[in-house]
Amino acid sequence: MVSENAKSGESSGLRVGFAGLGTMGAFMSANLLSAGFPLTVWNRTPGRAEHLVVVGATEATSPAALARSCDVVVTCLTDSPQVEEVLFGRDGLAEGLSPGALLIDCSTLSPLKAQEFGQRLALQSVAMLDAPVSGGSEGAKNATLTILVGGEEADFERASGVLDAMGRTVTLLGPLGAGQWAKAINQVILAGVYLGVAEGVTLGLKAGLDVEGVISALSGGAAGSWVLENRSQRMIDDDYPLGFKIALHRKDLAIGLDLARSVGAVLPVSSLAATFEDGLIAQGHGDEDNSALARAIRQLSGL
């Protein structure tokens, strides 16, 4: 049976490219294929595209080659330097993007950088949406991501089928850069929620309670949250398989703290979380899931 998304992808006529097949991008690109979009993919590290090629994707030899074959290109990369290199470096996307093409950048970076990249692309009549995502690897796999979008409404409408194939809640929040502002706020809020859940779990463990039972009871009340439901067990077990790297959250939190300074906002909880994350990264835990923030609270509590 063909899904409604698949019908939409097949009937749209859009040729889609995807650059960046990491933890998030591999799932997001697979969902575009499932939605019926003709898909071309590229990744810096060889071998990451094989599972996609098997089910119908075409692998490009360079970002420029990918862009030449696509109307819409999605990027999901680590940080501003990587986005700039893939866009404007040798054999970059900008070399292959035709006038009228659309770039959707799902990376997390500074709003100012997003605006800069958009302005540079506009010089060759290429439109851009900044569209950072939230929801972790689970959301990427299940196409339930929250996608926070900045850009022109006409470009947002043109991209709607592509964005809907990757996420459940897709919102245009303002001009280019607005998506990155929203993502920074998201990461600031998450810093406090992760710390709160870590402290609650640690308190329950120190008290000798059935912490799993306590969490189950709390989940339906005011303390309920995605972190409590999906990450508290990891904190109880003191085991943090990858969902979203703590090093990447620290990178995102740096953006949020820089933005806060630029507008005169004070973020004491985020600053504390950043300090804990710096310590965990120094201890070699940077590649663990962000719920590993609980390590810091457990260590301070003698667990």
**Predicted confidence band of residue 23 (pLDDT cuts 50, 70, 90):** confident
Q: Residues 70, 15: contact at Cβ < 8 Å?
A: yes
Q: What is the mean pLDDT of residues 246-263?
A: 96
**Predicted confidence band of residue 235 (pLDDT cuts 50, 70, 90):** very high
What are the pLDDT digits (tens) for 123-132? 999 999 999 9
User: Given CA atoms 225, 227, 232, 233 in this order, what sign does their dihedral have?
Assistant: positive
Under DSSP, the state recorded for 116 is H
Residue-level pLDDT at 241: 93
Helix (H) or strand (E) holding 215: helix 211-219
Whether the pLDDT of residue 260 is over 90: the answer is yes
CATH class of segment(s) 4-176: alpha beta
What is the β-pairing status of strands 145-149 and 133-134? antiparallel
Collect all residues with Cβ–Cβ distance below 8 Å to 85 and sequence separation of at least 6: 92
* Residue from 141, 183, 206, 251 carrying the catalytic annotation: 183
Whether the pLDDT of residue 5 is over 70: the answer is no
- In the chain, where the domains are located: 4-176, 181-300
pLDDT, averaged across the chain: 94
Q: Residues 280, 246: contact at Cβ < 8 Å?
A: yes
Picking from 123, 122, 80, the residue whose alpha carbon sits closest to that of residue 105 is 80
The rounded distance, in Å, linking the Cα atoms of 173 and 75 is: 19
Burial group, residue 292, by CB count within 10 angstroms (0-12, 13-18, 19+): buried
The rounded distance, in Å, linking the Cα atoms of 218 and 223 is: 6
Q: What topology is assigned to 181-300 in CATH?
A: N-(1-d-carboxylethyl)-l-norvaline Dehydrogenase; domain 2 (1.10.1040)
* Same topology between domain 4-176 and domain 181-300: no
Picking from 160, 158, 152, the residue whose alpha carbon sits closest to that of residue 176 is 152
Please give the distance of CA 47 from its chain centroid, rounded to a whole number.
22
Picking from 52, 51, 66, the residue whose alpha carbon sits closest to that of residue 18 is 66
Picking from 93, 91, 116, the residue whose alpha carbon sits closest to that of residue 103 is 93
The rounded distance, in Å, linking the Cα atoms of 15 and 226 is: 34
Annotation says 183 is catalytic: yes
Whether the pLDDT of residue 240 is over 70: the answer is yes
The rounded distance, in Å, linking the Cα atoms of 67 and 182 is: 28
What are the pLDDT digits (tens) for 95-113? 999 999 999 999 999 999 9
Residue-level pLDDT at 245: 92
Whether the pLDDT of residue 7 is over 50: the answer is no
Neighbours of 241 (CB within 10 A): 11
Identify the residue whose tokens are 């309670």.
209
Q: Which pTM does this prediction carry?
A: 0.91
What are the pLDDT digits (tens) for 27-38? 999 999 999 999
Residue-level pLDDT at 6: 43
